Amino acid sequence: MPGETLDDAIAAATTQQAAGIGSLFTLLGENLTSIDEGDAVAAHYHEVLARTTAAGLGTEISVKLTQLGFDLDPEHAERLFRELALAADEAGTWAWIDMEGSDYVEATVATYQRVKADHPDTGLAMQAYLHRTPADVERLLPVKPAIRLVKGAYDEPASIAYRRGADVDAAYLGVTVAMLKGVAAGSVSRCVLGTHDTELIAQAARHAAANGLDRAKVEVHMLYGIRADQQRRLAREGFTVKTLVAYGTFWYPWYVRRLAERPANLLFAVRQILP
């Protein structure tokens, strides 16, 4: 994290832009206790769009529906996101819906399906380790989805998710290949690899070339501060690279929850610190 405030995030994005790397902002925080909190989160993201547009950053936003009060009033949360999608469109940028735990997947996909039909410049994060993801990608093709594919960080049971690393990687590549074919066919608007796994990115690039796509069509989103050298290398090599800048005062409970859900996340974090 660059810090807790929007000023910190903007400063980080400005530095990244100088290196040819775009930015994607997410304010940390999830489930709420009152709908007023969701309204406040939405207002913050409107400020993000206004300030980053004024700064010439072209920053995209990535929002959890639970941050907008989805547990309390799904229709109100969807309305708030639609307003953000409209503001992003007016700013010439994109709004993304983050994916959450398995209890939210069906409702999140359905919400995105409705919103995307009205707001083309919106995207959805999807988790490769879920068994259902290939079918969900297929389901979304009529609305020409933009998908940011992540491996998945929640501790889901084997009945619904792959748990072995090799199986997750194979599932990730399979969905990526399907998305790239969709980009080539015009049925997928953006194929984004939300991963720090450079071997998977290299494999995706080979499949993109086989489908007649140049590297700019292979987008990579990595977390701020993780594998920064690889982010710069990929940008130099012609990939479209963006840094996901997470910030906010909720960082400690968010981080601890991720470690409690999946201890393997701790090993990943430590590896980023070591030479």
Q: Which residues are catalytic?
A: 98, 148
Long-range contacts of 153-157 (CB under 8 A, 24+ apart): 153/258, 153/261, 153/262, 153/265, 154/100, 154/101, 154/102, 154/127, 154/261, 154/262, 155/261, 155/262, 156/101, 156/102, 156/129, 156/130
Residue (of 30, 2, 7) closest to 254 by Cα position: 30
**Cβ-based neighbour number of residue 44 at 10 Å:** 17
Query: Taking a C-beta distance cutoff of 8 angstroms, is the pair 240, 22 a contact?
Result: yes
Q: How many helices (H) and strands (E) does the chain have?
A: 10, 8
Residue (of 126, 106, 114, 108) closest to 190 by Cα position: 126
Query: Taking a C-beta distance cutoff of 8 angstroms, is the pair 239, 216 a contact?
Result: yes
Element (H, E) at 180: helix 165-185
- The first and second tokens of residue 107, run together, are 């409702």
Q: Which amino acid is at 164?
A: R
